[in-house]
Every structure is written in structure tokens, then in C-alpha cells.
Amino acid sequence: MHLDMDAFFAAAEQAAKPSLRGKAVVVGGLGPRGVVSTASYEARAFGVHSAMPTAQARRLAPNAAYLFPRFTLYRSVSEQVMELLGALSPLVEPLSLDEAFVDLEAGGVASDAQTARAVGERLRADIKARTGLTGSVGLAASKMLAKIGSERAKPDGLVLIEPGTERELLAPLSVRVLPGVGPATGDHLRRAGISTIGEIAEAGEDELVRLLGKAHGAGVYAMALAHDERPVVAEREGKSISVEDTYDVDIHDRVRVRAEVAALADRCVGRLRASGRSGRTVVLKVRRYDFSTLTRSETLRAPTDDPAVVREAAARLLELVDTTGGVRLLGVGVSGLADFTQEVLFARTTTGEEPLARAAPAPLLVTTSVPVPAAPPVPLWRPGQDVEHREHGAGWVQGSGLGRVTVRFETPYDDRPGRVRTFAVDDPDLSAAEPLPLVRGAGDGEVRPGAAEAR
DNA sequence: TCTGGGGTCCTAGGACCC
DNA sequence: TCTGGGGTCCTAGGACCC
């Protein structure tokens, strides 16, 4: 089974904000260089879609609601959904917050089409009851086909692909439907006169390998024949951790570039340590004013989670890069991840320093050796953000500017749009708040064992 | 129209080693 | 006189995915 939540971020916002139900909603970066994460179906009718620059979306749908993503909310909803999946099988493979594969056979809940369909429909009902949101389900004999099924089921549907019908179903579809065929490979194949999956099958494996290379060609050919033996894998270990920022305006000042790289290194290490791991290879990423992107990396003698070590490596790498003309993005990453204990064996013992493994998993606070110039003022109130007013209760920020902030007072449990009020940005009665659960009683991460099996 | 942020996997060349 | 063969590690870049 493949489960894919429908327009997940936008749907969660509509569930949280009654005034946005049935309206065009766009969730994504709201700065001058932002892109759309998710558009509600109403916004898609205007031509807005994921990965589109938000500036372009605003031209297409000027009256849509534009909201910053609220990952804490999406994560808590995601946990509830994943918990329902976990009740079906020990083999659940999340692909992102809103998508997962489930091996139903391994869970012993379905091994034929009829029961699989029943399990899928019951899951969709459980998700709706638990989160208030809809998800689409694909059921098939392999990951690829289950995923194609959920795509065809959207929105709010279920598609089961009967074993034996796979190849005739695939034949007329675009090659772009196959996993691993993106824009570049799609163009490549089209120039060779291949645009449908059926044409890949006709071309033969040798031709595909000639066009795409050994590994890629063989893989794409197998997929075209509906040969996909990839298992559902739960709990995959991450292989790298990285942090990057695109700046609203290009940075020209080399001193500022160094300061940003140091800050990114600290943030990266913060996440590295939060995951209880250490890394051996430090990667610096630079996107220049003209969008040309390069990476420079350095492999250390031993894994580290020391912010100073990562900061210094990143600083060395930066000195290898010409940034005249300005940079629009900087990033710092760590790969070659090892479990934490490894490292204690190496560098740390000689210093007499308390092993970092014992350190509290508190947010990492590091004083940078480079003075960090004051960051451009971050707006205090971001569109979509939850707030609490001493008098008016729970609401969310509709917009702010010119020293004022506009709030709509409504909660996920209201049936009608709430009232709008405007305050001074520094109104002492107004404070930031945590998101409310979308369904009353179904709290964040709250475990209700047996909820799914109870029927 | 002006292009996010977080990842994974693959390729290819050079260094290095046996 | 005409330059082995194979394996691993490191680095850089590109394609792809959500």
C-alpha cells in the first residue's frame, strides 16, 4: 500500500482555519525568493503548484491566502497518521511527512485484493476521523504500482491495481510516471523518440542501457515492465545532515559570508547532536548570484560533533571559493555519519573533557569566534502563525506591517469564520501560541493504543 | 518567471595500495 | 620502449524525490 495525504500542508491549514475552507490556500516561502510547498486544490485551479516561485503564484492567484509552513503542526498530524499505519504492519516506510509505503502482507492484514481494499478504505476513514484530513491510497503488488495507484486515486480516493493488469495499465502512460525519470531523463528519452512507458518496453533493455547508462537504463527498463522487487524498509538510518539558507538579497560582503557559514555550521551541528550522531565529512555549498552551484568537501581523520571543528572546516572550504559577484545561498552539511560512541574512542579521551555523549540534549548554544553582524530584522508575526490574545483567545496572524498585526480569532473546532481584529505589533496582550490539534481530543502525539484495531 | 530545503543515489577521475 | 589489474577512498557534480 502507498498512502499519500491530499495537499497535506494546505489541507492542514484549512482544517485549522475555518475561514480558509473551500478557499485558495498556498503554503510556502513568502520572501522574495520563496517557492510554493503546497497549494490547495482551489489554488491549483488557478495554475498554482508545488515548487513554483511564490511571486508567480501571487500573480496567478492574488486573492489566495499565503501562509508560512508550520512544521510542528504537520509533524504532529503525521505522527498520528503513521501510528495508524503502524497498526497495520511492522513494515512502514515513511517517504516524507505525508507519504508512506506499508507492507500489508507482512502485517498479516491482507494478502488478496478484496481484503486489501477493505483495509485501505478503513484506513482512510480512520485517518479522516483522527486528523480531519483526507488521504489517498494505492494498492498493488509493488511499491511503484502502489504509488501510481495513489496518484490516480487523488484526491480522497483509493485505487487497486489488479495483478496481471499492470503492463497494459502502464503502456500508454508518460515515461515521467516512472520513478527515476525526471525532467532530464524525460527529455533524453523524448529526443530518442520514446515518450510512453510502452515504448520503453518495445525499445528493449540494450537500447535503454545505451541511452541512460548501465544502472539507470536497466532500472528504468525493469520499471517499465512492472518489475519492481524493492522491499518496504522501515527505519532507514540517515546518511547526511545539512542546513542551507537562500538570502532575500545576494550577500557581497565576504566578512558577512564567513559569519553566515559559521552560523550555518553551528545549526548543522545542533541537528547532528540532537540526532546523537557524529560525522566525518564536512560539505560547504555555495550558490552564486548567477545560480551556479558548487560544493567543496573535506573529510576529517575521525568523526566529530564538535561545533568548532565543523566551523573551522567549513571556513577552510570557504577560502577555496570565489564569491565575488555575490552569493544567494550558503549551506553546510555533514556526511559519513557514525554513531556517537565511535568518536569517544578517538579524539576526546586525551583532553579529559567530559564526553559529549553525556551532554544534555539541550539546544546547542555556541559562541562563534566570528562576530555576527545584526541579522536583518525578522518580522515578529508571520502569516499563518498561531497566537493567543488575553481577551479574545486563540487566533492566527493574517498579516502584519506598518507596526500593526491583523489576527483572525477562530479555532479548528469552529464551523464558521471568526472575527478579525488589528493590534499594534507590540501589544502586550498578544503572544505566540502552539498549534491546536485539528480534531478535539486527538492530541499531539497522544498514543491511543488499539484505536485502529478497535473496530 | 526567476528559480526552497531536506535528502538519496550514481558516476567519474585521481590518489593510493597491493 | 611504451607503459597491469583491481579495489577502495575521496571529491565534485548531477539527477531525482518530496
48-77 of chain A touching strand B, CB 7 A cut-off: 50-51, 53, 55-56, 59
Residue A410 has which C-alpha cell? 477562530
Distance A219 CA to C8 C1' (A): 25
- Residues A364 and A273: beta-carbon distance below 8 Å: yes
**Helices H / strands E in chain A, number of each:** 15, 18
CB atoms closer than 10 angstroms to residue A356: 15
Q: For the residues of A366-412, what is the DSSP string, one character each?
A: ---SSPPPPPPPPPSS-TT-EEEETTTEEEEEEEEETTEEEEEE--T
Across A370-392, b (16+ Cβ under 10 Å) vs e yields: eeeeeeeeeeebbbbbbbbbeeb
How far apart, in whole angstroms, are the C-alpha atoms of residue A6 and residue A15?
Answer: 12
Residue carrying C-alpha cell 496572524: A397
Residue carrying C-alpha cell 508575526: A381
Q: Residue A421 burial by CB count (10 A; 0-12/13-18/19+): exposed, middle or buried? A: middle
- Residues A376 and A248: beta-carbon distance below 8 Å: yes
At residue A156, the 3 state secondary structure works out as: coil
385-404 of chain A touching strand B, CB 7 A cut-off: none
**For residue A452, what pLDDT is reported?**
41
Q: For the residues of A61-109, what is the DSSP string, one character each?
A: -TTSEEE---HHHHHHHHHHHHHHHHTT-S-EEEEETTEEEE-HHHHTS
Residue carrying C-alpha cell 552560523: A263
- Whose CA is nearest the C1' atom of nucleotide B5? A244
Q: For the residues of A118-141, what is the DSSP string, one character each?
A: HHHHHHHHHHHHHHS--EEEEE-S
Q: Is the CB of A103 under 7 A from strand C?
A: no
Q: Which H helix or E strand runs over A164?
A: none
Q: Is the CB of A281 under 7 A from strand B?
A: no
**For residue A356, what pLDDT is reported?**
35
Distance A79 CA to B18 C1' (A): 51
Distance A263 CA to B9 C1' (A): 29
Distance A301 CA to B17 C1' (A): 19
- Residues A186 and A175: beta-carbon distance below 8 Å: yes
Give the catalytic positions of A in this structure. 99
Nearest nucleotide (CA of A50 to C1'): C18
Spell out the residues 6+ positions from residue A440 whose beta carbon is closer than 8 angstroms to its own: A412, A413
257-276 of chain A touching strand B, CB 7 A cut-off: 271
**For residue A354, what pLDDT is reported?**
34
In angstroms, the Cα distances linking A34 to A27, A28, A53, A164 are 10, 7, 6, 44
**For residue A373, what pLDDT is reported?**
54
Q: Is the CB of A361 under 7 A from strand C?
A: no
Q: Which nucleotides of C are covered by protein (CB under 7 A)?
A: 9-18
How far apart, in whole angstroms, are the C-alpha atoms of residue A142 and residue A160?
Answer: 11
Q: Which nucleotides of B are covered by protein (CB under 7 A)?
A: 1-12
Q: Is the CB of A244 under 7 A from strand C?
A: no
316-335 of chain A touching strand B, CB 7 A cut-off: 328-329, 331, 333, 335
Q: Say if strands A293-304 and A327-335 run parallel, antiparallel, or are unpaired.
A: unpaired
Nearest nucleotide (CA of A299 to C1'): C10
Distance A301 CA to C17 C1' (A): 32
Q: Is the CB of A35 under 7 A from strand C?
A: no
Mean pLDDT, chain A cut into blocks of 10 residues (455 residues total): 98 98 97 97 97 97 97 96 97 96 96 96 98 98 97 97 96 96 95 96 94 92 96 94 98 97 98 96 97 97 96 97 96 93 46 34 39 54 96 96 95 97 95 94 50 37
Q: Is the CB of A284 under 7 A from strand C?
A: no
**For residue A450, what pLDDT is reported?**
41
**For residue A259, what pLDDT is reported?**
98
Distance A20 CA to B9 C1' (A): 40
Nearest nucleotide (CA of A37 to C1'): B4
**For residue A355, what pLDDT is reported?**
35
**For residue A374, what pLDDT is reported?**
56
Across A47-59, b (16+ Cβ under 10 Å) vs e yields: ebeeebebeebbe
How far apart, in whole angstroms, are the C-alpha atoms of residue A286 and residue A322?
Answer: 10
**For residue A214, what pLDDT is reported?**
86
Rg (CA), chain A: 25
Task: Report which of A37, A1, A126, A131 is spatially closest to residue A384, judged by C-alpha positions.
Answer: A37
**For residue A385, what pLDDT is reported?**
96
How far apart, in whole angstroms, are the C-alpha atoms of residue A43 and residue A47?
Answer: 7
Distance A251 CA to C1 C1' (A): 57
CB atoms closer than 10 angstroms to residue A415: 7
Tell me whether the omega of the peptide bond preceding residue A355 falls within 30 degrees of 0, making it cis. Answer: no
Q: Is the CB of A338 under 7 A from strand C?
A: no
Q: Say if strands A135-139 and A2-5 run parallel, antiparallel, or are unpaired.
A: antiparallel
How far apart, in whole angstroms, are the C-alpha atoms of residue A76 and residue A74?
Answer: 6
Distance A323 CA to B10 C1' (A): 29
- Residues A203 and A194: beta-carbon distance below 8 Å: yes
